[in-house]
């Protein structure tokens, strides 16, 4: 399983490691090999004493469309050791500050990964969505635990049960993002904040992050595994088969008999 070198870019400068989704022609949709590359990049950043902060970014017009459906159907994550779940565990336990610059659509994991970031800056064109139910599956990335904590139960239920997009200002209101800026300024603002953090004591940053985290790590990893098991099981059920068939046939799914 190989990843074209240009799909995930990793750049280190002045204590900041920047991980860029760089598959714009495919709307930065993520493949299994890209998840492996992301997990590797985070593990390397954690081990690298010169890395003090990590930034995720996409393109000015798209953060990520979520899973690449074609690759997803070829390599469905039906076990908890699939590359996507490895990435999520590394992400959930990453001890150094994590930042994200989000412009355009952030679909599925493009949104749920942000619950694990410490600071998120959004372009005013950002649109967040978690359409798992619409695909006949369930949430991932611990979002069934973290979304209610951050958004409140009713807003989390609306986002996860309906799966409809919510825009940058709504994300700012509920605390998912720290600031909304013009898309052309988003990466610059995020890098500026990352450089401020990189100039601080790494030990202080890491201990403060540890203390800030509301969720017990064991509980969070348990929820990620529970979601992964349910997700894998549901992929083989009729609702998911109908949803993905409808997606490939460019029609609305019909769940009326399911």
**pLDDT attached to residue 5:** 60
Check whether 156 has a pLDDT greater than 60.
yes
* pLDDT for res 4: 62
Q: Give the DSSP H/E element, type plus range, for residue 20.
A: strand 16-21
**Confidence bin at 81 (pLDDT 50/70/90):** confident
Task: Write down the mean pLDDT value for the chain.
Answer: 94
pLDDT at 2: 45
Q: Is 70 exceeded by the pLDDT of residue 202? A: yes
pLDDT higher than 80, residue 214: no
- Tell me if 99 sits within 8 A of 57, measured CB to CB: no
Of 148, 35, 17, 145, nearest in space to 88 by CA: 35
Q: What value does the mean pLDDT take over residues 39-50?
A: 97
- What pTM, to 2 d.p., does this model score? 0.93
| Distance, CA of 141 to CA of 126 (rounded, Å) | 20
pLDDT number for residue 33: 94
- Residue range 208-237: mean pLDDT, rounded: 91
The per-residue pLDDT for 129 is: 97
What are the start-end ranges of the H helices in the chain?
32-47, 69-74, 83-92, 109-112, 143-151, 153-157, 168-174, 183-198, 202-212, 217-235, 238-248
Instruction: Tell the burial category of 257 from Cβ atoms under 10 Å away from its Cβ (0-12, 13-18, 19+).
Output: exposed
Q: Over 80: is that where the pLDDT of 93 sits?
A: yes
Q: What is the pLDDT of residue 53?
A: 98
DSSP string of 21-65? E--GGGTTPBPHHHHHHHHHHHHHHHH-TT--EEEEE--SS-SB-
Q: If you average pLDDT over residues 250-255, what whole number do you get? A: 91
The count of C-alpha atoms lying within 13 angstroms of the C-alpha of 244, restricted to the half-sphere facing its C-beta, is 19
pLDDT confidence of residue 72: 84
Which tens digits make up the pLDDT trace of 140-152?
Answer: 999 999 999 999 9
Quote the percentage of the chain above a pLDDT of 90.
Answer: 85
Query: What CA–CA distances, in Å, run from 163 to 77, 133, 160, 188, 249?
Result: 21, 7, 5, 30, 20
Q: What is the CA radius of gyration of the chain?
A: 17
pLDDT of residue 1: 41
Q: What is the pLDDT of residue 150?
A: 93
Taking the C-alpha atoms of residue 187 and residue 234, their distance in angstroms, rounded to an integer, is 37
CA–CA dist 239, 133 (Å, integer): 9
The CATH H-level (homologous superfamily) assignment of domain 8-183+202-211 is: 2-enoyl-CoA Hydratase; Chain A, domain 1 (3.90.226.10)
Q: Give the pLDDT band of residue 3 (cuts 50, 70, 90).
A: low
């Amino acid at each position: 399983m190989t990843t074209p070198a240009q799909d995930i870019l990793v750049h280190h400068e002045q204590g900041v490691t920047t991980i860029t989704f760089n598959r714009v022609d495919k709307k930065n949709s993520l493949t299994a090999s890209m998840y492996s590359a992301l997990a590797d990049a985070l593990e390397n950043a954690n081990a690298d004493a010169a890395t003090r902060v990590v930034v995720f970014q996409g393109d000015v017009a798209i953060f990520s469309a979520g899973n690449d459906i074609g690759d997803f159907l070829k390599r469905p994550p039906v076990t908890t050791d699939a590359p996507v779940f490895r990435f999520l565990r590394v992400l959930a336990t990453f001890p150094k500050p994590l930042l994200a610059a989000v412009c355009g659509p952030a679909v599925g994991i493009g949104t749920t990964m942000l619950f694990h970031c410490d600071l998120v800056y959004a372009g005013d064109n950002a649109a967040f969505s978690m359409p798992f139910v619409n695909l006949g599956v369930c949430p991932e990335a611990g979002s069934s635990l973290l979304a209610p904590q951050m958004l409140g139960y009713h807003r989390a239920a609306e986002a996860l049960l309906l799966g409809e997009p919510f825009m940058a200002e709504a994300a700012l209101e509920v605390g998912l993002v720290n600031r909304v800026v013009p898309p052309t300024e988003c990466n610059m603002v995020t890098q500026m904040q990352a450089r401020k953090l990189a100039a601080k004591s790494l030990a202080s940053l890491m201990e403060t992050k540890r203390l800030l985290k509301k969720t017990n790590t064991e509980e969070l990893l348990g929820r990620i595994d529970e979601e992964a098991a349910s997700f894998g099981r549901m992929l083989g059920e009729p609702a998911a088969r109908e949803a993905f068939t409808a997606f490939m046939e460019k029609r609305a799914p019909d769940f009326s008999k399911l």
